[in-house]
A and B are shown apart, each in its own frame.
Chain A
Amino acid sequence: AQSVTQLGSHVSVSEGALVLLRCNYSSSVPPYLFWYVQYPNQGLQLLLKYTSAATLVKGINGFEAEFKKSETSFHLTKPSAHMSDAAEYFCAVSGTSYGKLTFGQGTILTVHP
């Protein structure tokens, strides 16, 4: 079985500051891990994915995430926040042969000027 825990339902940062969104996972098989972003009234958009090729994964819009097996974590970071980054972010794990995703509860990112 797979599960995801996102620490912090709300994160607030200043424009230009570091963004850190935390995700811990549990999986009975080697996991594939994903971060999705959701803007209001829109569907989920893929930011990045980990598929075991490299532990540091770079995604769109300057985001990256590092897979740490020993910590069962896949935290999302961005060095410098932009106002347009304000959205809800979801971490997800896939452990089935057909890519069924199990999502975390989401973290709402607010960016202050």
Chain B
Amino acid sequence: GAGVSQSPRYKVAKRGQDVALRCDPISGHVSLFWYQQALGQGPEFLTYFQNEAQLDKSGLPSDRFFAERPEGSVSTLKIQRTQQEDSAVYLCASSLGGAGGGYSGANVLTFGAGSRLTVL
């Protein structure tokens, strides 16, 4: 597609429910990132995929958070037993380059519009 697509755009969950957030990156993009943006804050890194491999999950706040990208395209972020502190906008981003073959720090990330999660 032309951009990064995320669904649902808005999700309200009761505390303790499980939620799943979907990200459809730009076709052909190797890298995929998930970020969490709390109200009034900058985005914070959660996890990184290069194709289907999850190479960095250092930002996941607890074992209730799980992400996958089984075929190297669409990714799902799952949050189990949601808590009020999980309320945030979850942003997905993709980029063309990956980690292999040299320094790709200049890769430009293209962000989706985000999924806003509210936990009651």
Q: Which residues of A contact B (CB under 8 A)?
A: 4, 31-32, 34, 36, 41-46, 49, 51, 90, 92, 94-106
Contact = CB atoms under 8 A, between A and B. Distances in A.
B104 A106 contact: no
B119 interface: no
Interface string B76-103: 0000000000000001010101110011
Given A90-B43, A103-B42, A103-B43, A98 B31 contact: yes
Contacts of A49: 106, 108
15 contacts: A36-B111, A42-B113, A43-B113, A44-B93, A44-B111, A45-B111, A49-B108, A94-B107, A95-B105, A98-B48, A98-B104, A99-B105, A99-B108, A101-B109, A106-B41
Please classify how large the interface on chain B is, using the bins under 10, 10 to 19, 20 to 34, 35 or more.
20 to 34
Shortest Cβ-Cβ A-B pairs, 4 listed: A99-B107, A103-B42, A98-B99, A43-B111
Contacts of B108: 34, 46, 49, 99
B110 to A, nearest CB: 8
Nearest to B43: A103
B98 A106 contact: no
A95 B106 CA distance: 9
A98 B107 contact: yes
Given A43-B111, A49-B106, A99 B44 contact: no
B20 interface: no
Contacts of B95: 99
Contacts of A106: 40-42
A97 B104 contact: yes
B106 A32 contact: yes
